[in-house]
Amino acid sequence: MAPYIHKNIAILFSLSLLSNIMVGCGTNNSEKKTEPAVEDTTIQEGRNLVSQSDCLGCHKEDGKLVGPSYVEIANYYTANEANIEMLADKIVKGGKGSWGDIPMAPHPNISTQDAQKMATYILSLKK
């Protein structure tokens, strides 16, 4: 009878140890809180800025309105710093001729930094 008890104790101890290891590993992973990537935050901020602006009066996300869709812009320009700066400049200063004869109105009340976030969001829509 003693070997049976010792065997059961050994099994229970092994299961308890295994359980503690599994819970410990799971707890460590679940407690780690990851911050969103800077790019993801910038894209979300850009999306919010676009939705709060008058941009949607001339642009839609997917489909031409007065101006090109954001997806069309994203598919045309590579998402890099130079294009983000160029598009941000167009958002602030306006422009004409890139997508036809209808001019884009300037938005001098939008900061360069916010315009860059908006451009980053737009370029993230590439399909």
Kindly report the pTM of this predicted structure.
0.70
Encoded amino acid at 87, one letter: L
The pLDDT, as a whole number, for residue 98 is: 86
Do residue 25 and residue 42 come from a single domain? no
Q: What are 90-112's pLDDT values in tens digits? A: 999 999 888 989 999 999 999 99
Do residue 26 and residue 43 come from a single domain? no
At 68, the pLDDT band (50, 70, 90 cuts) reads very high
Token digits of residue 84: 């983000």
Residue 5 structural domain: 1-33
Do residue 46 and residue 65 come from a single domain? yes
Check whether 36 has a pLDDT greater than 90. no
The pLDDT, as a whole number, for residue 92 is: 98
User: Number of structural domains, the chain?
Assistant: 2
Percent of the chain exceeding pLDDT 70 equals 71
Do residue 14 and residue 65 come from a single domain? no
